[in-house]
Amino acid sequence: MKFRRKKLQIVVRSPDLGLPARCITLAPDLTFRGLKLAFLPGILLRQPLAFESLYFDLGGRPLTDSSTLTDAGIAAGSSALLTLRLRLRGGGGDGGATGAESRDCYLNMYATKKPDKVDPNETRLSKWTTCALSGEPLAPPVVVDRLGNLFNKEALVEALIHKNIPKEFSHIRGLKDMIPIHLSLNPGAANSETRFECPITGLEFNGKYGFLVLRGCGHVLSVKSLKEVKSSACLVCHKEFSESDKLVINGSMEEVAVLRERMDGERGKLKERKEKKASAHLSGTKHAGDENDGILDNGRKVGGAKRFKAMDMVPANATKEVYSSIFTSSKKSDFKETFSCRSLPLGRN
């Protein structure tokens, strides 16, 4: 005898998807996932994300895809109204973010203080009006290194003494790497952003205009003044200078690279001169004139005057041996040690 399983009359609707309601007769052991496959059109079945975001609702109670009609409490032979709804991500209660998490993220976003934007004008002005090492306002005596950085001499010397020079200024090894400069005071400094200016053109020393320092005299002039007045002498003290004596202050990356190359070249030449001098001293070139009767390779005599000899001034009626004994010690063979010499230290002398 065969028993027929009772079917269930289910009305399925989906207002979220705009699909019309349908009455379907189903077996009680059918899962809701299978019901979705039977109810949804083929276009939605080809979209995995859309398929997974849909769920059935029975009287406001969400039902899982793996549960059956019997698990949902729908008795055999009865009917029920199921609603197919669209699950909204992040709405709460569906595995998305909760309200507490949202508030925490919101508060953390404003709790972390963002760094203030640096004003490029303030950065430029600070580079031209303060010491590159201490950050204090420039005050005489002021020096510049071989790359065009400005320093208060006192702060730089103190850093060299305590050996705490920053890495970016490691090229400064001593006083020889400092060039003293003369900055001209600005008469209208009270109403200006800087205390110094070009003594020729009156341009302010604030980074808006290019400036050079002449290494020979240390005077600071604007690039404009040297272009307008064509001269090979300083416009302030009239001391002659060459093109290599010009040193750009706070130059661009390209100008600093040129200055660094020049600095390395000067140090290399100085090192070669020292090595040549040391090798000449060790090889005996200093006394080379003694081997050639006082004549050097260039034909000059070693020493301009004749060496004085005591034997050339022997008095009359005096022998050379007696006279020379005045200036030389006695012969060791003529010295006889006595008891007094042994007892008194002075006797040995």
pLDDT of residue 203: 93
CB atoms within 10 A of CB 77: 10
Tell me if the bond preceding 141 is cis, omega within 30° of 0. Answer: yes
pTM: 0.49
Q: In this structure, which amino acid lies at residue 31?
A: T
Q: In this structure, which amino acid lies at residue 339?
A: F
pLDDT of residue 35: 77
pLDDT of residue 57: 80
Q: Please give the distance of CA 9 from its chain centroid, rounded to a whole number.
A: 77
In angstroms, the CA 192 to CA 1 distance is 112
Residues of the chain where predicted confidence (pLDDT) is lower than 50: 1-4, 92, 100, 286, 288-290, 347-349
Picking from 95, 223, 76, the residue whose alpha carbon sits closest to that of residue 148 is 223
pLDDT of residue 219: 95
